[in-house]
Every structure is written in structure tokens, then in C-alpha cells.
């Protein structure tokens, strides 16, 4: 069974631009969560989607948004990029909301 697939793997953007990251969960998994990983803050929760609805949101500004489609695929958008948004963005899927999370390979975003 294929794992969680994230695209693209690497992105370089400049300040003020916006970016969209994509995530395809493991087949049959209905919950998709997004995390940001930085050397200083570690892994921090962004948001979770289940049945196309945002169920939970972390402590990030409104520039960070996401959505989930009917096939459980998810996208995350960051607008008006700042240098501090440079990070590894990880998508994780789980079978149900209380199941273990499985992470994708991540998208490494660099903002210059």
C-alpha cells in the first residue's frame, strides 16, 4: 500500500509570495493533518481535516489555511510568505481520527 505522498518535495519562494502544498493520504485514510517542523520549534500542529471539514487548528496565523477534498486529498496554502515560514511541512494521515498518524516525506519550503 502506498504511503502518504506529498508534492512538491522542495520549494523555494520569495517573501510575499504564496504557496500551495499537496498531500495524498494512504488509501482508505480519512483524516489528514499538517505539521510544521523547524529546528527551533520542533514539530507543531497546523490543522486537521476529516470528511472535508477542518476539525482542529493549531496556533498559527490566518495566512496558513487548508482544505480537504472528497477523495481525502488535502492542500495547504500559505499566503504572504515570511522568512520564518521556512520549514519542513509534513502531512500525516490516519484511518480514523483516533488512529496512529503516518507521515509523508514532507515538503521543504525555503523562503528567501
21 with 75: CB under 8 angstroms?
A: yes
What is the closest distance, in whole angstroms, from the C-beta atom of residue 15 to another protein in the complex? 25
Q: Of 17 and 97, which has the nearer Cβ to another protein? A: 97
Distance, CA of 15 to CA of 34 (rounded, Å): 22
What is the closest distance, in whole angstroms, from the C-beta atom of residue 60 to another protein in the complex? 12
Per CB under 8 A, residues contacting another protein are 31, 33, 42-45, 48, 50, 55-56, 58, 88, 90, 94, 97-98, 100-106
Q: Which residues contact 39 (CB under 8 A, 6 or more apart)?
A: none
Distance, CA of 55 to CA of 95 (rounded, Å): 15
Q: Of 12 and 43, which has the nearer Cβ to another protein? A: 43
What is the closest distance, in whole angstroms, from the C-beta atom of residue 27 to another protein in the complex? 17
Q: Of 80 and 87, which has the nearer Cβ to another protein? A: 87
Amino acid at each position: 500500500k502506498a504511503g502518504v505522498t506529498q508534492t512538491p518535495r522542495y520549494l523555494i519562494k520569495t517573501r510575499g509570495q504564496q504557496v500551495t502544498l499537496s498531500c495524498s493520504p494512504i488509501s482508505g485514510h480519512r483524516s489528514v493533518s499538517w505539521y510544521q517542523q523547524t529546528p527551533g520549534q520542533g514539530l507543531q500542529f497546523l490543522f486537521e481535516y476529516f470528511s472535508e471539514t477542518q476539525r482542529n487548528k493549531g496556533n498559527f496565523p490566518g495566512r496558513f489555511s487548508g482544505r480537504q477534498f472528497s477523495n481525502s486529498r488535502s492542500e495547504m496554502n500559505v499566503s504572504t510568505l515570511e522568512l520564518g515560514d521556512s520549514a519542513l511541512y509534513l502531512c500525516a494521515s490516519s484511518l480514523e481520527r483516533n488512529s496512529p498518524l503516518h507521515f509523508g516525506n514532507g515538503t521543504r519550503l525555503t523562503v528567501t
